[in-house]
């Protein structure tokens, strides 16, 4: 396991240009953005999006347009809460990679990150990558387990109080000009020399794809995770300096991304540290989520999330005395009602696929099993890749004439989940194979591209170079025929989903 910040500039560039780094969520394996990234990188070489040969800034700039980046919505609760993933315009993304990974710039970033270390706040989410057969996501999750949960438990011998809080809409609220402060220190507007400092260049790239907005960064890529960590690392530095100034020695803070755990020996000390964290987050446009802040006077109990503790009781699915699939699905459903969209639920649903895959013929209660599994995903849409795997196996056992009826029922149920292009992509995965024969009518552009339509993801009218526009052919993201994939989702297809579930 290596920290991203320990890589050379060339190694970091290769890492950022991987398809799994451009979008670090879960897509069916016939979708990949790596071909477009490689072609754009080859075209730009070490150049940048704002070169005169690519567009005329006097006529139209990308920051003048609202849909330069592609917004990809994932529903979180089946109702009105959603996570806005954002696929950065490939030309701007590759250009930003070139900026960040220019050798002198990368050296500046590495040096600055070292300034954030060794204080009261310990960062446990520094991006890491695999050096063996494991995926980068699996490596990051192993880092989470080792540094956060294990360290939290070990602190129980030193501290009696734990206060847990996180940032509300971290990526959406980040003030982009604070990137300059993160890299170069707090500066007044008079001190800034636009387009010459590294921080200003990163800031301008991010705003170029987001309608010129100074609030928020794109969510969904390793590169933006890295930028967010730079800003949060700067906040760590401000917190450390303030805690030293008020002589608050009897406390420690663990931070994983935007999640803070404050360890102390009294309510007063914990709340004093919390106020410092809140004040310094305001500097970069962020604020703490009051509804998610809770305290515990037993550090061991508070170190493990409630859904994870409750989930331990269900880890024997498939081995308990409740042997029928329907009963086990009902247990999962009940857990999902108590802990919707939780990491524990996503892990349990993923593990349950191993159990349900043992069925080799259609059960008498197939309709009921399909209905219960579908409702788990309806209440907790973030589980859908794993639930889709379960449904793909169950419905594959039905007679051919029944498959269309069952998938239609699933489609009609999930259609009632608003704002969920992510769900549509996975529903297409399980209904597109030839063995199913179901035609999914979807308005999600990625689904339309898989179906062969000429849909648009990124607004590129600002680009004047026709050769560069041709490089952005969206049909390249489909690297295999979706009709040729197996009817039943294979375990390796949701491996990334299972690994991601451990990060929450």
pLDDT tens string for the chain (504 positions)? 678 899 999 999 999 999 999 998 889 999 999 999 999 999 999 999 998 888 887 889 999 999 999 998 776 655 655 678 899 999 999 999 999 999 999 999 999 999 998 889 998 887 766 544 445 555 555 556 567 888 888 999 999 999 999 999 999 999 999 999 999 998 655 665 655 589 999 999 999 999 999 999 999 999 999 999 999 999 999 999 999 999 888 899 999 999 999 999 999 999 999 999 999 999 999 999 887 788 888 888 787 777 766 665 665 555 443 458 888 899 899 899 988 888 888 888 888 887 787 788 888 899 999 999 999 999 998 899 899 999 999 999 999 889 999 999 999 999 888 778 888 999 999 999 998 988 888 889 999 999 999 899 999 999 999 999 999 999 999 999 999 999 998 888 877 666 665 554
Both 246 and 350 in one domain: the answer is no
Q: Single out the residue in 268, 303, 338 at which a domain terminates.
A: 303
- Give the separation between CA 260 and CA 330, rounded to whole angstroms: 34
Per the domain annotation, does 429 fall within a domain?
Answer: yes
If asked whether residues 299 and 311 sit together in one domain, one would say no
Q: Give yes or no: residues 372 and 236 share one domain.
A: no
Same domain, 114 and 194: yes
Whether 292 and 360 share a structural domain = no
Say if CB 458 and CB 22 are below 8 A apart: no
Residue 41 tokens read as 């990188």
In this structure, the strands spanning 121-123 and 251-256 are parallel
CA gap 37, 419 in Å, rounded: 27
In three state form, how does the secondary structure of 23-58 look? Answer: CCCCCCCCECCHHHHHHHHHHHCCCCCCCCCCCCCC
Which one, of 282, 283, 270, lies nearest residue 243 by Cα?
Answer: 270
Is the same domain home to 149 and 227? yes
C-alpha 125/C-alpha 179 separation (Å) is: 18
Q: Which two tokens stand for residue 81?
A: 């809460």
Task: Determine, yes or no, domain membership for 465.
Answer: no
Burial class (CB in 10 A: 0-12, 13-18, 19+), 27: buried
Residue 55's closest CA among 44, 67, 66? 44
Nearest to 320 by CA among 281, 277, 355, 271: 355
Number of domains in the chain: 2
Pairing of strands 294-296, 251-256: unpaired
Q: With beta carbons less than 8 A apart as the criterion, state whether 262 and 162 touch.
A: yes
Specify if 350 maps to a domain. yes
Q: Same domain, yes or no, for 196 and 288?
A: yes
Tokens 């695999």 label which residue? Answer: 130
Helix (H) / strand (E) containing 164: strand 161-166
Residues 98 and 201 in one domain: yes
Whether 20 is in a domain gets the answer no
What does pTM read for this prediction?
0.91
* Domain edge (last residue) among 243, 273, 303: 303
Cα four-point dihedral sign 172, 175, 180, 181:
negative
Looking at the domain assignment, is residue 262 inside a domain?
Answer: yes
Cα 277–chain centre separation: 24
Determine if residue 245 is left, alpha or beta; phi over 0 gives left, psi from -120 to 50 gives alpha, anything else beta. alpha
Phi, psi (deg, nearest 5) at residue 315:
-70, -5
Q: Are residues 276 and 353 located together in one domain of the fold?
A: no
* Sequence-ordered strand ranges (E) for 405-474: none
> Tokens 């900026």 appear where?
99
Reading the block at residue 333, the tokens are 């459903």
Name the residue range of residue 353's domain.
307-433+485-503
Is the same domain home to 392 and 489?
yes
320/328 Cα distance (integer angstroms): 9
What are the residues whose beta carbons fall under 8 Å from the beta carbon of 502, sequence distance 6 or more? 141, 144, 145, 343, 347
Q: Quick one: 173 and 134 in the same domain?
A: yes
As a whole number of angstroms, the distance between CA 231 and CA 227 comes to 7
12 in a domain, yes or no? no
- Check whether residue 207 and residue 277 sit in a common domain: yes
For residue 296, being part of any structural domain is answered with yes
Q: Is residue 83 part of a domain?
A: no
End position of a domain, from candidates 242, 274, 303: 303
């Amino acid at each position: 396991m290596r920290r991203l910040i320990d890589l050379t500039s060339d190694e970091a560039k290769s890492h950022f240009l991987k398809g799994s780094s451009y979008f670090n969520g879960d897509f069916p394996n016939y979708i990949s953005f790596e071909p477009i990234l490689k072609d754009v990188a080859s075209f730009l070489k070490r150049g940048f999006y704002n070169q005169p040969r690519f567009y005329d800034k006097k006529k139209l700039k990308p920051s003048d347009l609202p849909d330069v980046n592609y917004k990809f919505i994932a529903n979180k609760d089946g109702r009105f809460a959603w996570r806005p993933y954002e696929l950065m315009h490939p030309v701007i993304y590759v250009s930003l990679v070139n900026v960040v990974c220019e050798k002198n710039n990368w050296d500046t970033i590495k040096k600055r990150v070292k300034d954030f270390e060794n204080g009261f706040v310990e960062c446990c989410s520094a991006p890491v990558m695999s050096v063996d057969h494991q995926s980068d996501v699996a490596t990051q999750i192993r880092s989470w387990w080792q540094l956060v949960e294990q360290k939290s438990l070990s602190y129980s011998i030193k501290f009696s109080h734990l206060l847990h809080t996180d940032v509300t809409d971290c990526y959406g609220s980040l003030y982009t000009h604070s990137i300059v402060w993160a890299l170069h220190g707090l500066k007044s507007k008079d001190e800034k020399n636009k387009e010459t400092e590294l921080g200003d260049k990163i800031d301008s790239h991010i705003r170029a794809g987001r309608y010129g907005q100074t609030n928020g960064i794109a969510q969904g890529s390793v590169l933006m995770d890295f930028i967010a960590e730079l800003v949060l690392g700067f906040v760590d530095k401000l917190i450390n300096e303030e805690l030293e100034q008020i002589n608050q020695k009897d406390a420690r803070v663990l931070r994983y991304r935007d999640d803070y755990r404050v360890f102390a020996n009294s309510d007063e000390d914990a709340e004093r540290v919390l106020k410092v964290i809140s004040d310094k987050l305001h500097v970069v446009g962020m604020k703490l989520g009051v509804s998610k802040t809770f305290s515990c006077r037993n550090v061991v109990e508070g170190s493990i999330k409630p859904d994870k503790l409750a989930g331990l009781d269900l880890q024997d699915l498939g081995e308990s005395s409740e042997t029928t699939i329907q009963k086990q699905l009902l247990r999962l459903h009940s857990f999902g009602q108590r802990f919707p969209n939780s990491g524990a639920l996503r892990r349990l649903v993923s593990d349950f696929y191993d159990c349900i895959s043992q069925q080799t013929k259609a059960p008498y209660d197939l309709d009921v099993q399909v209905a219960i599994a579908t409702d788990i995903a309806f209440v907790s849409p973030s589980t859908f890749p794993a639930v889709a795997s379960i449904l793909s196996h169950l419905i594959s056992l039905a007679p051919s004439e029944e498959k269309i009826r069952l998938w239609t029922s699933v489609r009609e149920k999930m259609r009632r989940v608003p704002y969920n292009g992510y769900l549509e992509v996975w529903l297409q995965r399980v209904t597109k194979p030839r063995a199913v024969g179901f035609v999914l009518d979807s308005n999600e552009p990625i689904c339309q591209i898989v179906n062969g339509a000429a849909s648009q993801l990124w607004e590129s009218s600002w680009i004047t170079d026709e050769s560069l526009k041709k490089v952005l052919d969206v049909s390249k993201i489909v690297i295999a025929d979706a009709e040729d994939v197996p009817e039943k989702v294979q375990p390796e297809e949701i491996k990334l989903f299972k690994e991601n579930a451990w990060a929450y």
